[in-house]
Every structure is written in C-alpha cells, then in structure tokens.
C-alpha cells in the first residue's frame, strides 16, 4: 500500500540544513493499522506530510498504492491525494463557515462527482459516524468529539484506500477519544489501511503495528510482535537505545 525506501527530507534555510528524515524506509501493507510514534521533533509530522503527499521529499523512493510518487507535479499529487487518501487532523480542520453536509462535500467536489453521487456519499458517511441527523449544523455547534467524527466522515466520503490520521484524539478528552478510536478500528476492520501519527503510547498500543521515529530515522517493530503487545514508552526507548 505504501512503501518508502531510503527516503530523506532536508529543509534548507539560507543558514542551515536540517535533516528531518534520513534514509527512512517503511512498508505498510494493505489493510494494516500502523501507529507512528516518536517524541516531538522526531520527524513524525514530516513523515505524515510526505506520506500524505502534502510535502515533497528530497531523495529516495516512494510508492503509494503502486504509483511512483517521485516527480509527480502538484496537480497530480492533489489528484492522487484526493482519490487515495483520507485525512484526519488533530485540530479537525473543519471549515467553520460550512455546515456538516458542505464540509463532507469538500473532497467530493474536487473529485468531480455529480450531485446525486455526492449526496449519497455524504449521507452514507455521516450516518456511518452517527451524525446524519445534524447535516445542517455548523461545526461550532458540535462538541470536539462530534467534530472529529465529521472529519472522519469527510475522510471516508471519498472511499480512500488509505486513511492518514494525525493525532486524531489529541484535542479530545479520554471519553471522546475512546469513541473516535473505536470508530477508526471499525473502519480498519472494514478494509481501509490506516496510518496514525501519535505521541500517545496507549493509543499506539491499540494499532496492529508500531513504527517509532527518532531523529528522522525509523524503528519498525514489525519483526518483534512480542514488544508490540506490551510496549511502554520507556521500554521502546530503551530498546532503541
């Protein structure tokens, strides 16, 4: 589903070069639920941005669902993003001036679906997150958990093959967070690949596989299923050290 090899990302300002990712390799298979963890500044956001085609990389190889992403221009990347990836952000990123229906509608508009198709998908995905009764409401009228459900509905509406979640419960209290997490697991069970970036080890523990990013490099726990089950933050860091 997603494969990166020897990928690196260098930020250049006129003074310094910063290696955000260095010789980064990862392979996420179809249907997996992968948690990407790491402390602040480790490069996990950079990974997310590159994996989600939000940013370009400096060197290396990257295939997304069989497509070689290298050298794609901005428009092609936008199209790919729109068709293959659904995004869930920490801050929900709903458009405050649009009601729920129109918010979910945003990616479908860019997909170029007809009105009937869009309406069907919006209603389906909103009912999937349990909010079909509030289609005409505006984001500000909803709780944080409900807003994130809308964001999930928006991400799902286009039937993406890959769901990228960036700290999806970061702005939610634990009760709401649990609900969102359960929803993600349910989506994963239905066949959508999920990559979730989080700094919360408890959340990471619920994924099938953990990838730990540290100083722009990756530690893949795929090979060590034992660790995966009962890993604690300190343990992981100890293991890496």
Partner 1 sequence: MEIRPIISALMRSKVAMILIGLQVALTLAIVCNSLFIINQRFEHMRRPSGMNEADTFWFGSTGFGQGYDARATQLADLQLLRQLPGVVAAAPAWSVPMSGGGWSTGLNLQPKQKTSTADTALYIVDDHAVDAFGTHLIAGRNFKPEEVVNATFGDSLHPAAIIVTKALADKVFPGGDALGKQVYLDDDPPTSTIVGIVDRLQQPWTNSKTIEYTTLVPAHMPFGNFTRYIVRTEPGRRDEVMKLVEQKLAESNPSRIIGKMRTIEQTRNDAYSNDRAMMIILGTVIFLLLTITALGVVGMASFWVTQRTKQIGTRRALGATRFDILRYFLTENFLITTAGLVVGGVLAYALSLWLLTHVADAKLLPWYYVPVGFVSLWLLGQIAVLGPATRASRVPPAVATRSV
Q: Which residues bind partner 1 (CB under 8 A)?
A: 45, 48-49, 52-55, 74-75, 78-79, 81-83, 87, 89-91, 93, 95-99, 102, 105-107, 109-111, 138, 154, 158, 166
Nearer to partner 1, 45 or 148 (CB): 45
Q: Quick check: 198 and 206 in contact, CB under 8 A?
A: no
| Nearest CB to partner 1, comparing residues 32 and 167 | 167
Complex with partner 1: residue 91 or 225, whichever CB lies closer: 91
What 3-state DSSP class applies to 85?
Answer: strand
Which letter, b or e, does each residue of 179-217 get, where b requires 16 or more Cβ atoms within 10 Å of its Cβ? bbbebbeebbeeebbbbbbbbbbebbbbbbbbbbbbebb
Report, in Å, the least distance between residue 237 CB and partner 1: 23
Q: Provide, rounded to whole angstroms, the least separation between the CB of residue 48 and partner 1.
A: 6
- Shortest Å distance, C-beta 170 to partner 1: 8
Burial class (CB in 10 A: 0-12, 13-18, 19+), 90: middle
Residues belonging to the chain: 241
Nearer to partner 1 (CB atom), residue 84 or residue 212: 84
Q: How far is the CB of 49 from partner 1 (least distance, A)?
A: 5
Which residues on adjacent β-strands are paired with residue 28? 2
- d(CA 221, CA 209) in angstroms, rounded, equals 7
Cβ 218 to partner 1 shortest distance, Å: 19
Nearer to partner 1, 128 or 154 (CB): 154
Rounded distance between C-alpha atoms, residue 19 and residue 230, angstroms: 31
């Amino acid at each position: 589903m997603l494969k990166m090899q020897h990928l690196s990302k260098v930020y250049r300002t006129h003074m310094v070069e910063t290696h955000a990712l260095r010789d980064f390799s990862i392979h996420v298979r179809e249907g997996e639920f992968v948690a990407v963890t790491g402390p602040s500044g480790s490069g996990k956001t950079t990974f997310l941005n590159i994996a989600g085609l939000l940013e370009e990389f400096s060197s290396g190889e990257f295939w997304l669902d069989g497509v070689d992403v290298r050298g794609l221009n901005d428009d092609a990347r936008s199209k790919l993003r729109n068709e293959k990836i659904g995004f869930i952000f920490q801050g929900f990123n709903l458009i405050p001036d649009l009601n729920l229906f129109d918010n979910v509608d945003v990616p479908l508009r860019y997909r170029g679906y007809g009105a009937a198709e869009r309406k069907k998908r919006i209603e389906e995905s909103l009912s999937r997150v349990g909010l079909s009764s509030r289609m005409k409401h505006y984001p500000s009228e909803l709780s944080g958990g409900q807003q994130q459900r809308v964001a999930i509905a928006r991400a799902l509406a286009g039937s993406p093959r890959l769901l990228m979640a960036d700290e999806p419960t970061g702005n939610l209290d634990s009760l709401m967070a649990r609900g969102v997490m359960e929803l993600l697991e349910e989506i994963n069970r239905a066949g959508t690949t999920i990559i979730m970036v989080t700094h919360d080890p408890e959340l990471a523990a619920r994924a099938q596989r953990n990838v730990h990013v540290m100083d722009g490099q990756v530690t893949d726990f795929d090979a060590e299923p034992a660790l995966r089950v009962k890993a604690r933050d300190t343990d992981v860091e100890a293991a890496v050290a």
